[in-house]
Structure 1
Amino acid sequence: MEWSRTENLKPQYVYIRRNGYAEGDPNLNERYRGQRCSVSEKKLAGGDLSLELRGLHLSDEGTYQCNAPNLHTDLHSRSCSTNLHVGNVSQPEIYSAGPKDGGLSLTCDSGCWYPRPEMSWLDSEGTVLDAEASVTYTPSEHCYAVQSNLTARGTGRLTCRVHLAHINHTTEAHHDIPLIPGLNAGHITAIVIGSLCAVGALILLAYGSVAVGKIIRKRMCCQDLL
């Protein structure tokens, strides 16, 4: 049984199994040797050839193909393939820059993401608010950083939402502005309470996609080939 990359990777094999894991096979790509790839012995006995890939990198994105012999007939081996999507995510942060135009100036900083994410502000009712945004890209780090400025008027919870459609991953930060009688948003700068709420900096997504940063592993499915 073999797992391989369909792109221009030489050698193309990421996992080879003969009578056990063939780590010493010269056709196995160096990037995938050792403990990066594995197949469950228990699941293998039931016909599940799913590959688990650890220590993901952006360069791991691509199409993976599984080839397995047909043990029930004399036909040639059967195959299946799956697409792995990889992205880098961070936890956004909100900070206050003080009073502005009768309100409170807030900035949301996405941190490092890849590919480029979308950022939006929402009020306590879930309504999307108008806000300015700027994007900085650092090629050497494959890093997109988004900053968005909002002038908040009134009280309640504001949410900065960052979404990466490439891997269908969303992370949020929240900022609470308390209601205090006799004070408006421009007067409560010193007592604004800020909090962060992470949907998750580490998350494993569904079949065919994954978010990384410090993500450890991804399981790619290939069943019922035996």
Structure 2
Amino acid sequence: MKTFPTSAAWCLGILFISVSLITTGSSEVVGPADRVITLAGDDIILPCSLKPNISAEDMLVEWTRLNPKAENVHLYRSGRDSNVEQVPSYRRRTSLFHEELKNGNVSLKLTRVTLSDAGSYRCFILTLTSQEKETTVQLFVGAVSQPVISIDGTKGWGVVLKCESGGWFPEPEMEWLDSSGTILPADGPPERHRDSEGLYAVRRHVTVNQTDTNRFTCRVHQQEINHLKETEIHVPDDVFPKLQVGLIVGLLAAGAAVGLLAASAGVIGVYMWRKHTEGIYYFTILLYYITILLCYITILH
């Protein structure tokens, strides 16, 4: 039985190691081209990998947050996680994809993201040949909330609506729309407030008139994180101020009657003044009764 020569085995071994070292030496660490955007409370992945895809199972992988000062986020070495010196705020929130390490994927998963997690993260790899390779990932964290609409009284023949929404970051914009999507003129500029946690609250009023649908929408949007929230309200017909038809008809009738009586009194008075001197007496009596009639109409309405 023939055996494989020992010298040949050594040659193959040295060749394999040489190829591995050459491949490792020509690799680079690649991160995302753009910043990573997420919302507070979500889980996020910070991409980082070796190109070409070579195993990182036996390498040292270190994730560090760079600002405002360097903080140990996650450390992998000697084939396992080693987070003894991890910053307490990241405890039980970070992990690597261990099954993907053999493919050079050293991306970091960060769970339950907070606003304070935003910043620059360094993905650092120490290769088998003690070469240091790294890239930087920018994480931007936003916050949103659903707007709330309420009826805030009436104004003229319209209804005043109020929209409020808090817990936003960065500062959002708010606008009112009708059922066709047309932006409505609001009652002045939005009211803004920022709380102790750095979150923004915004409030805005609008006066709306009765329409065929009585449906109106409050929209809050933040372009920087490309996020939008909307709430719609249907205002019942009976909430709008009602025209008192009876009163208006009565006033119109009274006005017409007064006008007619005044005209008649004028014509009769002039005629009687010209025809007879005692017409002054009758004219005075006529004005007296007209005054009584006007008082009576006023009391009725």
Do both share a fold (TM > 0.5)?
Answer: yes
2:146 pairs with 1:88 = no
1: distance between equivalents of 2:230 and 2:73? 35
SS of the equivalent of 1:112 reads strand
Other-structure match for 2:124: 67
2: distance between equivalents of 1:102 and 1:118? 28
1: distance between equivalents of 2:100 and 2:183? 46
Other-structure match for 1:47: 104
Q: From 84, 99, 107, give the equivalent of 2:162.
A: 107
Paired residues in the alignment total 177
Counterparts in 2 of 1:44 and 1:101: CA distance versus 1, 3 Å: farther
Other-structure match for 2:227: 169
Q: Which has the higher strand share?
A: 1
Other-structure match for 1:152: 208
Per-residue CA deviations over 1:6-27 (Å, capped at 9, x if unaligned) read 22324x2211101211012x3x
Other-structure match for 1:222: none
1:164 Cα deviation after fit: 2.2
Per-residue CA deviations over 1:56-112 (Å, capped at 9, x if unaligned) read 2211110112112446xx472322222111122221100012322211110000122
Other-structure match for 1:29: 87
**Cα pair 1:3 1:16 within 8 Å, conserved:** yes
Q: Which has the higher helix share?
A: 2
1:162 Cα deviation after fit: 0.9
Segments of structure 1 that go 5 or more residues without pairing to the other structure are: 188-226
1:114 Cα deviation after fit: 2.6
Structure 1 residue identity aligned to 2:210: G
Segments of structure 2 that go 5 or more residues without pairing to the other structure are: 1-60, 243-301
Q: From 76, 93, 100, give the equivalent of 1:17.
A: 76
Structure 2 residue identity aligned to 1:152: V
Q: Tell me whether 62-71 or 14-23 shows the greater mean CA deviation.
A: 62-71
SS of the equivalent of 1:141 reads coil
SS of the equivalent of 2:121 reads strand
1: distance between equivalents of 2:192 and 2:147? 14
Higher relative contact order (CA 8 A, sep 6+): 1
Structure 1 residue identity aligned to 2:98: E
Structure 2 residue identity aligned to 1:168: N
1:184 Cα deviation after fit: 8.9
Q: From 33, 48, 64, give the equivalent of 1:4.
A: 64
1: distance between equivalents of 2:150 and 2:137? 41
Report sequence identity in percent: 37
Other-structure match for 1:117: 172
Pairs within 5 Å for 1:124-203: 124-131=179-186, 132=188, 133-138=190-195, 140-155=196-211, 156=213, 157-177=215-235, 185-187=240-242
Counterparts in 2 of 1:57 and 1:186: CA distance versus 1, 3 Å: same
Structure 1: 4+ residue segments shifted above 4 A: none
2: distance between equivalents of 1:130 and 1:45? 59
| TM-score normalised by L of structure 1 | 0.70
2: distance between equivalents of 1:54 and 1:93? 28
SS of the equivalent of 2:100 reads helix
The Cα RMSD (Å) is 2.2
Per-residue CA deviations over 1:111-136 (Å, capped at 9, x if unaligned) read 22233211111222222222132112
Counterparts in 2 of 1:53 and 1:184: CA distance versus 1, 3 Å: closer
1: distance between equivalents of 2:101 and 2:156? 64
